[in-house]
Amino acid sequence: MKKTRVINSNISRVISQMGHFDTLSIGDAGMPVPEGTEKIDLAVEAGLPSFIQVLENVLSELEIQKVYLAEEIKLQNPEQLSAVKKIIGDTQIEFISHDKMKSNLKNTKAFIRTGEETPYSNIILESGVVF
């Protein structure tokens, strides 16, 4: 049995297959996922699991070098933005429009759907290297 925090077999598989510059996304319950993008649906009910819980879990295994957030999060959900910044530390953030984020999901390895129901609680994680 795995000893690390990520025990969801689909999330663990996707992380283990990622290379440098590959992307993985995590988002709220309402984010539309493009056809062809793998959706790992963790949503149980409103708020469960939360976006932040899943982000923390994924980052316990995934090395990142950059994240992408919707520009709209700055005004529409500043509390979530603060929480993300606290978790990612000095990792570079690139703000893009929500429409561009939705479009970019077609290029991610997978989209992890949470039970989050707060606006613009979506992120694209760009994989880094550990060496």
How far the first Cα of the chain sits from its last, in Å, is 26
Domain-wise residue ranges, the chain: 22-127
Q: Which residue has the tokens 């879990």?
A: 57
* pLDDT for the residue numbered 121: 98
- For residue range 35-92, list pLDDT tens digits in order: 999 999 999 999 999 999 999 999 999 999 999 999 999 999 999 999 999 999 999 9
Annotated binding site: 28, 98, 120-122
* pLDDT for the residue numbered 1: 72
* pLDDT for the residue numbered 95: 98
Positions of E strands within 34-88: 39-41, 64-70
Annotated binding site for substrate: 28, 98, 120-122
Name the fold adopted by 22-127.
Answer: RbsD-like fold (3.40.1650)
Residues 6+ apart with CB under 8 A from 52: 80, 83, 84, 87
Q: What is the pTM of this model?
A: 0.97
Residues 6+ apart with CB under 8 A from 30: 117
Q: Which residues are catalytic?
A: 20
Task: Give the mean model confidence (pLDDT) for residues 14-32.
Answer: 98
CA atoms of 30 and 116, how far apart (whole Å):
8
- For residue range 93-117, list pLDDT tens digits in order: 999 999 999 999 999 999 999 999 9
* pLDDT for the residue numbered 2: 77
Task: Say which residue, 77 or 4, is predicted with more confidence.
Answer: 77
* pLDDT for the residue numbered 3: 80
